[in-house]
Amino acid sequence: GEDVEQSLFLSVREGDSSVINCTYTDSSSTYLYWYKQEPGAGLQLLTYIFSNMDMKQDQRLTVLLNKKDKHLSLRIADTQTGDSAIYFCAEARNTGKLIFGQGTTLQVKP
């Protein structure tokens, strides 16, 4: 994931909102994705946003896209202990290749 950057760690208290940030480099990427990885498991698709949108909401998840700055964020409302995991953003290049960031570890404290 050399072209997709994320902060490595975020700690929040249960019930607070979490915001995980990501920057990407390819302005022609058509879709941007958020995946979740729990310990010892594979990645699970959480949500995605098309590049011509600037916001998408899905229950507790809100994705914001600033295409000008190539900045993507994932907001988790009312964060729960079950949300503790590693979150990866990924951009879909027009070659069909998916490029992942290095992941942000979210720690939720009771």
Partner 1 sequence: EAGVVQSPRYKIIEKKQPVAFWCNPISGHNTLYWYLQNLGQGPELLIRYENEEAVDDSQLPKDRFSAERLKGVDSTLKIQPAELGDSAVYLCASSRQADTGELFFGEGSRLTVL
The only residue of 24, 33, 74, 83 in contact with partner 1, by rule CB under 8 A: 33
Beta carbon nearer to partner 1, 4 or 76: 4
- 80-to-1, 44, 87, 104 alpha-carbon distances in Å: 28, 17, 14, 16
Beta carbon nearer to partner 1, 17 or 27: 27
CB of 17 to partner 1, least distance (A): 24
Residue 48 interacts with partner 1 (CB under 8 A)? yes
Beta carbon nearer to partner 1, 9 or 57: 9
Query: Considering Cα of 68, then 90, then 39, then 78, what sign does the dihedral take?
Result: positive
Pairwise CA distance, residues 5 & 101, whole Å: 5
**Side chain identity at residue 6, one-letter code:** Q
CB of 86 to partner 1, least distance (A): 9
Beta carbon nearer to partner 1, 20 or 103: 103
Chain residues that interact with partner 1, rule: CB under 8 A: 1, 4, 8, 31, 33, 40-45, 48, 88, 90, 92, 95-98, 100-103
